[in-house]
Structure 1
């Protein structure tokens, strides 16, 4: 790889002015009013199509997102799917382009929610063009500086997403090594905290040991400077440096004045000075384990299983009988790719310890959560006993018992009503669906023909994509009859229950429900309460269609 051009990067080096995943506001400010604190979007000229890809699918717009010595990134449109992408142009020769075939093949195979998508690539005269996913809020490093002080919840969420992306790369056979993990090469969709790894232009498949010295000095593991080769654990070392920057807000080895000083400290085993500023023991332990010698350094899977990065489960009381001795509880693993665990508890015959041990033996829950879940169940039992009939507290606070029973009765009644309503609407929906699908196909055909005709006439892209996607058309056709239910829905209710109700009520199959559930859980939405906490702009980042968001909102809040 030495002496050859890197593939168009997703990020920026420490001192480079080139930035790939910049936000729209940043791009406009650099083009129109670079010295102003305020950006007047109304003065921005109309975007126009200036070039089409060889297959006519991608249209480059006259909007530059970033520039470098050899690279220019434009905003572009995917005319087939109807969304914005990045058009990356990198100056190179035909011979050099042919040498990049291995890296291009890697990019084509990579598909993961926490890795920026690569769409297409071709050679055009004197440059190689890459079409990639467009991120909206710039790099993780920019975002760190924007927020200034990060809380541990944000750091935990970002770290999990970065490590999930690395785990995907390292799980390939042979593993894919990124080789340049740093906050400048990790990108953010700020509306909902989505994190994705970019700059896979120097990634390599591990075939034995790698020997090429490439990367950013402050984030390069010591073995990358040796001639003995290195493995995928160089990415773990670099992640440790990223975590250090997230916690402290400082660039690792910022005390060094040049790369030679960084090299001397790294190869001598001297850690960055800012490591002394890390006060959270669990975070410090993770960083130190990332910076260990290669043969002792933890794997990505081991990092994901550390107490700091594992989401602590929560135990919820779902229902109880009149005597308060037969309970239904649920363990919710928030932030993890697991289903919630619902179980029955008999106060007269069961103990928290016995029930938890049984779930561990049945491999329903991991053993590492034994103490936490046991204590949570005992906490719920103490709360119930406090207001149980016949106790002194229960006599004095009988209104608490009445309040809890009333809430449970309302929830059960609401569930019954939803079931009856679903059955009543099922037949009506079957008839409506056939008619709407016919309308939808007609609108889709009209939209496709209109878009193609307008592009041939070089009409501004804002007019070409007046309807941004197939889903927008579907939303218009169904907007007049949203599936709205006004019953109270508990914040503790698992998200899968809500989604399945919505899909049943809107005549969608179980596959569609599972797809929505997977997307929501991928954003750490585990309960109805998590969904209700979202702001309006956060809904756009859930990865659901406009119609799906509308159906969920109608169920939560009723028809507006």
Structure 2
């Protein structure tokens, strides 16, 4: 709901380099003076949640700079507030949104991403394996699948690499800048190919261009891109070229985000370097900090039944990993088969004074090192069994330690 209450007051912090320019009406968020980013419609500032002590991003959309009437500004505010209702690990988290009628602007508080947007991050890291591109792509598709699966479906309409944000230390990728439906006609006003109503196929086309940009390092925006067929023809990897072509085909032939997630492109195979240049290949490496998909639940979880029977005789047994948390002790055991790990996890309840019976949970699942991570697994377990933040971290740490010790670092790359 729009907050048209008292306008934020500006004051000087007085000390240090961070000058506080504004505080939200409830007094929870402090915006600093210097902007950290600027787009066509908004300016982004670094801010701070003084109540829980975390950095956030504070975006401002001005009616004056965007030539918006009061009615249009109300409409934009309503659009932007839809972000408060979204909850998905690959969609940027919105904390607060309100309209400042006195100053003719809209304020939006969201997560702050340490490594900027995907375009900046990719340009910073020139050498990229196709395996890393796949992990990025899956996170973007998970976010689109969530948006397109809502009732009614939500179309981003302006998806680009600079609208997708990265936490480089974790490899977490999230789609941002949603809820600007009122402003989209300004973005597309000179584009002949999108005069008709928007639907989810527009996002699939834009996703294909994002993929092409990640591989070719050529900046591609749906509104100003006419040379993508030439760039697509230059993509060395045949499967990648075929996958992107599906996204860029005629609207009626484009697959959905859900269908793309099941595409053979994501099947496990030996990855090729994105360039055949020997000089690049000699020094090429995966992007740092991209071991995780950042998706809720990682890859598909399939009940395995009897692990011993499924794996079969002659497969390599893997040692047990064990760590104790607040409420549970986590005991991992697994066997390898066909490049995947068939896990059994036993969660033993930590008994407290006065408790006699120990809670025990046995969970079986398949872990695919190409698509799953310790963090995504721990996130799944946390949701399913309502684990505490500490136990979630302990669970992930136990599996990471186990993978590093027993299987070698390659499974955590």
Q: Same fold (TM over 0.5)?
A: yes
1:424-464: CA deviation from partner (whole Å, max 9, x where unpaired):
xx9xx8xxx9xxxxxxxxxxxxxxxxxxxxxxxxxxxxxxx
Are 1:169 and 1:175, in contact at CA under 8 Å, matched by a contact in 2? Answer: yes
Are 1:139 and 1:187, in contact at CA under 8 Å, matched by a contact in 2? Answer: yes
In the superposition, the TM-score normalised over structure 1's length comes to 0.50
Tell me whether 1:224 sits opposite 2:194 in the alignment. Answer: yes
| Residue 81 (structure 1) shift | 3.5
Distance in 2, matches of 1:253 and 1:105, equals: 25
| Residue 161 (structure 1) shift | 0.4
1:246-270: CA deviation from partner (whole Å, max 9, x where unpaired):
111122489xxx95xx5xx4xxxx7
Number of residues of Structure 1 aligned to a counterpart in Structure 2: 335
CA gap 1:345/1:58 in 2 versus in 1, 3 angstroms: closer
CA gap 1:212/1:88 in 2 versus in 1, 3 angstroms: closer
- Structure 2 equivalent of residue 302 of structure 1: 259
- Structure 2 equivalent of residue 78 of structure 1: 49
Match of 2:108 among 120, 130, 140: 130
- Structure 2 equivalent of residue 525 of structure 1: 373
Tell me whether 1:242 sits opposite 2:210 in the alignment. Answer: yes
| Residue 106 (structure 1) shift | 2.2
Computed over aligned residues only, the root mean square deviation of the Cα atoms, in angstroms, reads 4.7
- Structure 2 equivalent of residue 276 of structure 1: 233
| Residue 294 (structure 1) shift | 1.1
Distance in 2, matches of 1:79 and 1:505, equals: 35
CA gap 1:510/1:171 in 2 versus in 1, 3 angstroms: farther
- Structure 1 equivalent of residue 74 of structure 2: 98
Long gaps (5+) in structure 2: 1-14, 65-69, 270-296, 353-357, 379-386, 403-413
Distance in 2, matches of 1:198 and 1:556, equals: 29
Match of 1:165 among 143, 166, 178: 143
| Residue 272 (structure 1) shift | 3.3
SS of corresponding position for 1:114: coil
- Structure 2 equivalent of residue 338 of structure 1: 301
Are 1:188 and 1:194, in contact at CA under 8 Å, matched by a contact in 2? Answer: yes
Are 1:179 and 1:215, in contact at CA under 8 Å, matched by a contact in 2? Answer: no
Q: How does 1:28-427 map to 2 (within 5 A)?
A: 45-47=16-18, 49-62=20-33, 64-67=35-38, 71-92=42-63, 94-124=70-100, 125-126=102-103, 127-203=105-181, 213=185, 215=187, 223-225=193-195, 228-252=196-220, 259=224, 262=225, 265=226, 271-310=228-267, 335-339=298-302, 341-343=304-306, 411=319
CA gap 1:309/1:76 in 2 versus in 1, 3 angstroms: same
* Greater radius of gyration (CA): 1
| Residue 187 (structure 1) shift | 0.7
- Structure 2 equivalent of residue 549 of structure 1: 393
- Structure 1 equivalent of residue 349 of structure 2: 504
Are 1:57 and 1:78, in contact at CA under 8 Å, matched by a contact in 2? Answer: yes
| Residue 271 (structure 1) shift | 4.1
Distance in 2, matches of 1:289 and 1:555, equals: 37
The structure carrying a bigger strand percent of its residues is 2
| Residue 345 (structure 1) shift | 6.7
SS of corresponding position for 1:104: helix
The structure carrying a bigger helix percent of its residues is 1
Distance in 2, matches of 1:69 and 1:344, equals: 55
CA gap 1:54/1:310 in 2 versus in 1, 3 angstroms: farther
Are 1:75 and 1:87, in contact at CA under 8 Å, matched by a contact in 2? Answer: yes
CA gap 1:341/1:223 in 2 versus in 1, 3 angstroms: farther
Distance in 2, matches of 1:252 and 1:67, equals: 18
| Residue 75 (structure 1) shift | 1.8
| Residue 51 (structure 1) shift | 3.0
| Residue 74 (structure 1) shift | 2.2
CA gap 1:280/1:53 in 2 versus in 1, 3 angstroms: same
CA gap 1:277/1:339 in 2 versus in 1, 3 angstroms: same
SS of corresponding position for 1:100: helix
Distance in 1, matches of 2:97 and 2:132, equals: 35
| Residue 310 (structure 1) shift | 4.5
